[in-house]
Amino acid sequence: MAKRILGSMFLVLALILAVSCGKDAKKAIDAAQTAVDDAKSAGADQYAPDEYKSAEDYLTKAREQYDQRDYKPSKASALAAKDQADLAKKRAEDRKAEEEKGGIGAAEQKPGQPTEAYNVSSLSEQQLAIEDQAKAALTDAHFGFDSSELSEENKQVLVDNSKWLEQHPEVKLTIEGHCDERGSTEYNLALGERRAKAVRDYLVSLGIDHARLNILSFGESMPLDPGHTEDAWAKNRRVHFAISK
Amino acid sequence: MKKISIAVFLLALAGVSLAQETAGEEFIVISKAPKKSRIAIPSFRVEFQSEQGFGLGEELSGLLGRDLTRSGFFELIPRPSYMKPAPAQGEDEDWQAWSLLNTQAVARGELVELGPDQYQLTLKLFDAATQKMAVGKSYKGSRASLRRMVHRFADETIDWLTGKRAGFESRLAFVSNKSGRKEIYVSDSDGFNPVQVSNTRKLNLSPAWLSGNSLYAIGYDRVNPDLYLLDIFTKAKKLVSSQPGLNISPAVGPAGKKLAAALESPGENLDLYIMNPDGSRPLRVTSHPAADLEPTWSPDGHYLAFVSDRSGTPQIYMIDLYQGAESAGNKPVRLTTRGSYNTSPAWSPDGRYLAYARRAGNQFDLYLIDFQGADKRTEIQLTSTPYNEEDPAFSADGRMLVYSSNKNGNYDIFEISIFSKEPVQITDWPSDETQPSWSPSLYEKGG
């Protein structure tokens, strides 16, 4: 009896988690769609066709993932789509202005602009650079202060990541362990290592080949957010996935 | 008249206290803040062809005052109060004038330009108690060596006063992310003249001096965190330890004959190892499934103190190396009992103190464990601020700690006398400077 209650509680919890993740992904997709529409009205499909196509590809992918209930990767793809769309819009506007001025540099980069900040390939989803696919599909895991314990949310993220890894058996990953700035440099190296190991071991338990997964700790030395707030610290206590070359 | 007699009386008292502190051959650890001697340092006399002489003299006299103040043993009497700053040629100090300011010592300097980039700096310390010169040195060298001469004279002065040299003539190593990536920098002991000594555009962490010219550090040169030995002048790098996984926590043993570090044992568990200075023949010291790291040697090589999270949180332990590696009969002893996060232990060169950083609330403060006797240990809180003090490391003479603090928002390097507990800021860059450590004294007897 108790087991059944516990079981149903888990079900409810899982449902709540799934719904809330789904909501996030839906929001991100809607935002991406708006950005793509904006880009199109700015003439991005003509003036920045590569960037625009890339945005569309990411958006299509995000919808497919959403339909398959892969909410986390879907959200990541949607965010990538929005970034690409924003970039496409900006470049299209710049180039249009340039053209109106009679300049010939429509397709050139302005000096000082970041070059190739995002993927601008116009290839189909299957042909997108594997790094970008991995970036969109593999979500970071997050941790509590001085903890390497995997939360239920982390485990869900890792299940999603493992699905992508199963679909891409040729990919080898470096699992990077990171910490927030608090505490000693040395102790945080050990803590980052432990976080990376916890993630690796969980992926192995999900059937991913140990040999595909390297671990590397950066401790507190490579923060994602350089701020000194609780928010920044929470972002920095993470395990990140990078393609091994 | 009466005023003067009181002043003379004070002078006599002051003379006694100075004389007492010089009496013993051995330095006795003063647990309480030492009584500060009042010192006057008038402008140095300069004999120069060029115009820059006066500025240089002022820089050097200012530096001497700063060093002696930093030592915690002296209190600088401000210049505007000097009644007779410069005695006439051939005349002695006017001790009666100095006594009005309760002056216990006067330091004088003379800087002479001998030729192109050739200088002679003569420094003298006069003791008011005896009205005689107590320390007198003359140094020759280039412009670049002038500050080092002053540091050496400050060390000599502290030696005369206490029987033990200070550590001003040494170097400071630290990590900075000024370039965007963490690299190792080396400067004079007071942060002056900084030089970037690693340039890999990858992470470089945890510098640990082997000598005044070389230090160990963690480098991600080959992706993995490995240990390197770096020559600070030639910048030559030797790979010392590159086991799979972490190679961290370099700690140099007595006389530089052994290196302790934290490496991964089979089964990917971080343990302490002791190896030769070149990294050969690593011997495992601890064996516990938890992480053991950040070792620091007792100066006699008898013990290693280190951090372990074997209790669930990082705490400081000590293992007896004379009993060999960790075993059922040689269990590490836990030294910290309060707080849920105690890290970065550093043993003082005289063996009496162990400094470490403790997290309380969201802040780190510096603490000292005072090993008063075989079984008697007490704790001293060194800092108590609303910001962080971390990464303590002792000076060569054991009287000062250098550490990093985010008092100004970013991390800067500070120092503190363990007796007077007065913090002094050493670096002031907009970037983060962390993991400072002072080299052994650069002074060699007879050299």
Using the beta-carbon criterion (under 8 Å), do A221 and B182 form an inter-chain contact? yes
Pick the CATH number of B171-438 from 2.120.10.30, 3.40.50.300, 3.40.50.150, 3.30.565.10: 2.120.10.30
Tell me which residue in A184, A189, A221 faces B246 most closely, judged by beta carbons.
A189
DSSP string, A84-97: HHHHHHHHHHHHHH
pLDDT tens figures, A191-203: 999 999 999 999 9
Of residues B223, B294, B409, nearest to A184 (C-beta) = B294
Residue B304, exposed/middle/buried by CB under 10 A (0-12, 13-18, 19+)?
Answer: buried
What percentage of chain A carries pLDDT values higher than 70?
Answer: 78
For residues B9 and A226, what is the distance between their CA atoms, to the nearest angstrom?
A: 60
| Cα angle value B363/B365/B369 (rounded, 5°) | 145
pLDDT at B164 > cutoff 70: yes
Whether the pLDDT of residue A241 is over 80: the answer is yes
Whether A120 shows a pLDDT value over 50: the answer reads no
Q: What's the pLDDT tens digit per position in B227-267? A: 999 999 999 999 999 999 999 999 999 999 999 999 998 88
Q: What is the pLDDT of residues A176-195, one digit of tens each?
A: 999 999 999 999 999 999 99
pLDDT, tens only, B9-51: 333 333 333 333 333 333 334 445 568 999 999 999 999 877 7
Q: Which two tokens stand for residue B42?
A: 């008038």
Q: A184 contacts in B (CB within 8 Å)? A: 294, 307, 343-344, 357, 390-391
Best of A178, A187, A191 to disrupt the B interface (most B CBs within 10 Å) is A187
Residue B188 has pLDDT above 50, yes or no: yes
ipTM above 0.90, yes or no: no
- Tell me the chain A residues in contact with residue B434 when contact means C-beta distances shorter than 8 Å: 185
Report which of residues B65 and A24 the model is more confident about: B65
Q: Do A189 and B248 touch (CB under 8 A)?
A: yes
This prediction has a pTM of: 0.77
Query: How high does pLDDT run on average in chain A?
Result: 80
Residue B196 clears pLDDT 60, i.e. is over it: yes
pLDDT at B155 over 70: yes
Rounded mean pLDDT, B363-381: 90
**Is B390 in Cβ contact with A197 (below 8 Å)?**
no
Give A-chain residues touching B218 at CB under 8 angstroms: 189
CB atoms within 10 A of CB B228: 25
Give the pair of three-digit tokens for residue B412. Answer: 């800067």
Q: Looking at the domain that runs over B2-162, which CATH code has it been given? A: 3.40.50.10070
Q: Where in chain B is the domain with CATH 3.40.50.10070?
A: 2-162
Distance CA A215, CA B379 (A): 39
A106 vs B44 pLDDT, higher one: B44
Q: What stretch(es) of chain B map to CATH 2.120.10.30?
A: 171-438
Banded model confidence at residue A116, pLDDT cuts 50, 70, 90: very low
Give the tokens for residue B400.
């000062």
Residues of A in contact with B293 (CB under 8 A): 186-187, 189-190
Cβ-based neighbours of B46, under 8 Å, separated by 6 or more: B53, B54, B56, B57, B110, B111, B112
